[in-house]
């Protein structure tokens, strides 16, 4: 029995849930999870249909080296992106990549998803950024690793906290989301897709609609997140 059995099971469950949530078709997407104590990531194998996935199919990879420790076949082609995000964002526990309809449309348009309402602000502290274009060299050499670098560079350059804004659009590509666990990363990917859908519909109804004010963003985000959060039930 693998010592990573629990991690494999959770990552498998979240990958299969991508289909149930309507975030992927065919094999367009992936989810991973990390065990920081062991220094490993579990991720789905490349190109395997979601309905066929089992926990034993999940591939265990060492974060530092990128070497496969356990598992058969090739890991997801996006593995270098996931590994870079775990290295760059030390507090995240799961990453989800999809090609969901509305968020991907914003990515293809090269547009941020502005915070148009409190549904968005409940989960993302302001707009969801879209990266710059990748250079031809970045595309030709180490494409997936450079995708991760592009993401972390966007947050650094724009001064955005990746914990408060747990997702991004890679220009001309698609969204990535993350969270404290694979399940939380899935939740944030779902929210991003709904935020993109509602943003587009809002702008169709009123092209002059703008982002909500900072006071409302802060009220809704911090009532659910941080030391002073009061939404939901206490753990006591």
Per-residue pLDDT tens listing for the chain (236 residues): 568 999 999 999 999 999 999 999 888 899 999 999 999 999 999 888 888 899 999 999 999 999 999 988 899 999 999 999 999 999 999 999 999 999 999 999 999 999 999 999 999 999 999 999 999 999 999 999 999 999 999 999 999 999 999 999 999 999 999 999 999 999 999 999 999 999 999 999 999 999 999 999 999 999 988 777 777 776 54
User: In this structure, is residue 197 part of a structural domain?
Assistant: yes
**pLDDT value of residue 147:** 98
User: In this structure, is residue 229 part of a structural domain?
Assistant: no
**pLDDT value of residue 235:** 58
User: In this structure, is residue 235 part of a structural domain?
Assistant: no
Give tens-digit pLDDT for 81-131. Answer: 999 999 999 999 999 999 999 999 999 999 999 999 999 999 999 999 999
Residue appearing with tokens 């498998």: 12
In the set 35, 122, 143, 194, the catalytic residue is 122
Helix (H, G, I), strand (E, B) or coil at 97: strand
**pLDDT value of residue 225:** 84
**pLDDT value of residue 228:** 76
**pLDDT value of residue 164:** 97
User: In this structure, is residue 228 part of a structural domain?
Assistant: no
Q: How many CB atoms lie within 10 A of CB 43?
A: 24
Number of folded domains in the chain?
Answer: 1
**pLDDT value of residue 231:** 74
**pLDDT value of residue 177:** 98
Residue 231 structure tokens: 């939404």
User: In this structure, is residue 231 part of a structural domain?
Assistant: no
- From residue 32, give the alpha-carbon distance in Å to each of 79, 101, 106: 9, 21, 23
Full domain range(s) for residue 21: 5-222
In the set 56, 91, 133, 231, the catalytic residue is 231
Give the C-alpha separation, 56 to 131, whole Å. Answer: 35
**pLDDT value of residue 1:** 52
User: In this structure, is residue 33 part of a structural domain?
Assistant: yes
122 included as an active-site residue: yes
User: In this structure, is residue 230 part of a structural domain?
Assistant: no
Q: Checking phi first, is residue 141 left (phi over 0); if not, alpha (psi -120 to 50) or beta?
A: beta
Give the C-alpha separation, 201 to 170, whole Å. Answer: 22
CATH number, domain with residue 85:
3.40.225.10
**pLDDT value of residue 197:** 98
Helix (H, G, I), strand (E, B) or coil at 210: coil
Strands, DSSP E only, in the chain? 29-35, 40-43, 59-62, 68-70, 94-98, 167-169, 175-179
DSSP conformation class of 226: S
User: In this structure, is residue 233 part of a structural domain?
Assistant: no
**pLDDT value of residue 226:** 77
């Amino acid at each position: 029995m693998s010592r990573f059995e629990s991690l494999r099971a959770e990552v498998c469950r979240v990958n299969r849930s991508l289909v149930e949530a309507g975030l992927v078709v065919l094999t367009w997407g992936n989810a991973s999870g990390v065990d920081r104590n062991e220094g490993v990531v579990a991720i789905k194998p490349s190109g395997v249909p979601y309905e066929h996935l089992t926990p034993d199919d999940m591939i265990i990879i060492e974060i530092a080296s990128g070497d496969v420790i356990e598992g058969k076949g090739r890991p997801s082609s996006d593995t270098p992106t996931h590994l870079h995000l775990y290295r760059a964002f030390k507090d995240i526990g799961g990453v989800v990549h999809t090609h969901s309809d509305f968020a991907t449309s914003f990515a293809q348009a090269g547009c941020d998803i502005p915070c148009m309402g409190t549904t968005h602000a409940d989960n993302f502290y302001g707009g969801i950024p879209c990266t710059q274009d990748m250079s031809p060299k970045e595309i030709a050499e180490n494409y997936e690793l450079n995708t991760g670098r592009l993401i972390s560079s966007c947050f650094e350059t724009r001064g955005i906290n990746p914990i408060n804004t747990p997702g991004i659009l890679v220009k001309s590509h698609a969204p990535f989301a993350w969270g404290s666990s694979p399940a939380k990363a899935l939740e944030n990917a779902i929210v991003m897709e709904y935020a993109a859908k509602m943003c587009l519909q809002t702008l169709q109804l009123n092209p002059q609609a703008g982002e909500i004010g900072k006071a409302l963003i802060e009220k809704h985000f911090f009532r659910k997140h941080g030391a002073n959060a009061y939404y939901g039930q206490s753990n006591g």
